[in-house]
Chain A
Amino acid sequence: MRRDETETALLETRGLTVRFGGHVAVDGVSCRFREGELTAIVGPNGAGKTTYFNLVSGQIRASAGRVLLEGRDVTRLSASARTRRGMGRAFQLTNLFPGLSVLENVRLAMQAREGRGFRMFSRAMGDWELLDEAERLLQQVRLLSLAEMPVTALSHGDQRKLEVALLMALEPRVFMFDEPTAGMSADEAPHVLDLVAGLKGQPGRTVLLVEHKMDVIRELADRIIVLHNGVLLADGPPDEVMDSEIVQEVYMGQALTDV
């Protein structure tokens, strides 16, 4: 059931490579991400998953290779320029605006999306359109009751939820989740994963999800890619990839078992 290879992928990397000194953390990764698809990215610790994300969203510069967003080369663009073109990223290590309120964090992301940051003579808190939207989103991620709290007063799990909310607020075309539920309590995680699942199959959107829990992947992913030592080892439908010999070997029983 292979789709037409000539169809423009929403996101594509070609031979994407980065070297840190002598160490090649991501090594010639070529991959296409089509709209409507949810791709799980797996691999043992240190495989290069986060580094691959950093290359795609522009946090670090590639040593070689290219990143294409809707067929346009964005390799030389800054992270903020890529975000303005539709790339969105949630970080593995929570990365928020600590001194500001929960609501303000989300509002800032929406304000960036709408390109309203340079308005100097209106009141930020008078922009009801964005404030209403921010409250709706906080309700979705179950943070509305904490809206006025500073981020520093939040539990780790709640900070993880806000991290996801910031990505949702951007309404990007490419969603990149880096272990979104890591550190969340068992009753919070499914709810956040529901939100991720809700993004599946939407036209004009693609979802990349780094995740360790195999049951989650089996349920959500349309496709799995496996990274190991920076190299793309396998790419295919979940069942096929998970049962392949090479993947079993890479993990050597480490994480690739249903949890």
Chain B
Amino acid sequence: MTARRSWLLAAVVAAILAALAAAPFLFPGVRAMDTAARICVFIVLAASYDLLLGYAGIVSFAHVMFFGMGAYGVALASTHLGREAPGLVLGAGAGMAVAVVLAALIGLFSLRVRAIFFAMITLAVASAVAVLVSQLSGLTGGEDGLSFQIPRALSPAAKYLSEPLTGIDPAALPGAIFGGGETGGLFTEVKANGKLAAYYLVFASMLVLLALMRRLTVSPFGSVLMAIRENEFRAEAIGYRVVRYRIAVTCISAGIAALAGALYAVWLRYVGPDTVLGFPIMVDLLLMVVIGGMGTIWGAVIGVTLFMLARGYLQDLMAAAQGAVAADLPALAVFLEPDRWLMWLGILFILSVYFFPSGIAGRLKAGR
């Protein structure tokens, strides 16, 4: 890891974070802001998963379940305790507490044995919880999920300034692919409403949690996690209680995942099994972490951003490309059919794993 290449990685990450900070003004429009908020939430989720997978070398399939616990915590509290902020905080806290306790129990029960056993237990527990959530429809809303209200200050109805703020409309730029389409000049209005406040709540929480996780990875605790990943046997032999460290990191990552879930619930004002619990999300999460690069928190930032942009805009991109080649190369146009975006995402994934086996962050660090 040369200093120069670390600098390159830092620059890419800084650019992404800066873009997220300015997202409501750089990419106005409901859809762009929604994508940016999802990126923020998933950065927290992916980074916390990387603590487990990349730093400690523990494979878990229950990470999205912990995410869901935070989300359902917020949803249930808002539904039953009302939409005020204390209820929301209580719900997030309760979801987090349940996640941490459950993580500790799974860890105590299975991490003593073998890592593969832990993976299997998490799979079983996550499936059981998913079934439970859809069965207990009286409480959880079942497959339909729960829609709820959040504090007024964070809802679109809340107005903060009499005059709207000014942003840039990239759709007005020449050659633009992204954007809402309604071009009214380069400058556009950004409403200073509760939705904007909610975005910055999500963004600021992401920054704080990311900084916290970064600190954890460079701490003595983080160094022991890497030692355990590299050689569990020797870590034990030089006097570390390996099982305790593993349980601790399992609890920490579960707690942070639950917080990410709580943020997601606040942003969406809705939770449902398909949105915050399902295995498809678990697969997405794995892809994000692997594409970005395991064993570095910054990898999560890069992986999530790429994945979300691809998922959000690949279809648009393909539609544009299809239109461009339709006349001359009808055969190619068939492959660029927007409905095939998932196939292209798969191809992109295979290529990225092939060319960057240590992830994009790993590549940026290692050079060449």
Chains A and B bind each other: yes
A contact residues vs B (CB 8 Å cutoff): 57, 59, 78-80, 83-84, 89, 91, 95-100, 104, 107-109, 111-113, 116-125, 127, 166, 170
A123 touches B239 (CB 8 A): no
Q: How many whole Å from B24's CB to the nearest CB in chain A?
A: 32
In the assembly, what is the distance between CA of A104 and CA of B230, in Å?
12
22 contacts between A and B (CB under 8 A): A78-B236, A80-B236, A83-B238, A99-B226, A100-B226, A100-B227, A100-B230, A111-B220, A111-B224, A117-B221, A118-B245, A119-B220, A119-B221, A120-B215, A120-B220, A120-B221, A121-B219, A122-B219, A122-B220, A127-B220, A166-B234, A170-B238
Within 8 A of A (CB), among B214-229: 215-216, 218-224, 226-227
Q: What's the tally of chain B residues with a CB closer than 8 Å to chain A?
A: 25
If the complex has contacts A78-B236, A80-B240, A113-B239, are A118 and B220 also in contact, measured as CB distance less than 8 A? yes
Say whether A57 contacts B219, CB under 8 Å.
no
The reply to whether B219 and A83 form a contact with Cβ atoms under 8 Å apart is no
Contacts of A104 in B (CB 8 A): 223
Q: B311 an interface residue at 8 Å Cβ cutoff?
A: no
Given that A95-B233, A96-B231, A117-B245 are contacting pairs, would A112 and B219 also be in contact in the complex, using a CB cutoff of 8 Å?
no
Within 178-220 of B, Cβ neighbours of A (below 8 Å) are at 215-216, 218-220
**Closest Cβ–Cβ distance, residue A105 to chain B (whole Å):** 8
Q: Is the CB of B220 within 8 A of A89?
A: no
Contact of B239 among A83, A91, A97, A121 (CB under 8 A): A83
Closest chain-B Cβ to A90's Cβ sits at a distance in Å of: 10
Contact with B219, one of A97, A119, A170 (Cβ below 8 angstroms): A119
Q: How far is the CA of A117 from the CA of B56 in the complex (A)?
A: 14
Give chain B residues whose Cβ lies under 8 Å from the Cβ of A166: 234, 238
The answer to whether B223 and A108 have CB atoms under 8 Å apart is yes
Contacts of B241 in A (CB 8 A): 80
Known: A57-B237, A95-B234, A96-B234. 5 other contacts (CB 8 A): A83-B237, A83-B239, A84-B239, A95-B237, A118-B221
Q: Given the complex of chains A and B, what is the CA–CA distance between A191 and B235 in angstroms?
A: 27
Cβ contact within 8 Å between B237 and A97:
no
A201, B233: Cα distance in complex, Å = 31
Is the Cβ of B218 less than 8 Å from the Cβ of A97?
A: no
* CA of A107 to CA of B234, assembled, Å: 14
Q: In the bound complex, do residue A89 and residue B237 qualify as a contact, i.e. CB atoms below 8 Å apart?
A: yes
Cβ-defined contact, A108 with B216, below 8 A: no
* CB-nearest residue of chain A to B236: A80
Complex: how many Å from CA A78 to CA B238? 11
Instruction: Tell me if A59 and B220 are in contact (CB < 8 A).
Output: no
The 7 closest A-B pairs by CB, nearest first: A83-B239, A97-B230, A112-B239, A119-B220, A117-B224, A124-B223, A120-B221
Q: Which residues of B contact A113 (CB under 8 A)?
A: 238-239
Q: How far is the CB of B143 from chain A (nearest CB, A)?
A: 39
Q: How far is the CA of A120 from the CA of B221 in the complex (A)?
A: 5
Of A79, A84, A95, the residue contacting B231 (CB under 8 A) is A95
Interface centre among B220, B231, B234, B242 (most CB of A within 10 A): B220
Nearest to A116 among chain B residues (CB) is B220
Given A95-B234, A100-B230, A121-B215, is A80 in contact with B239 using a C-beta cutoff of 8 Å? yes
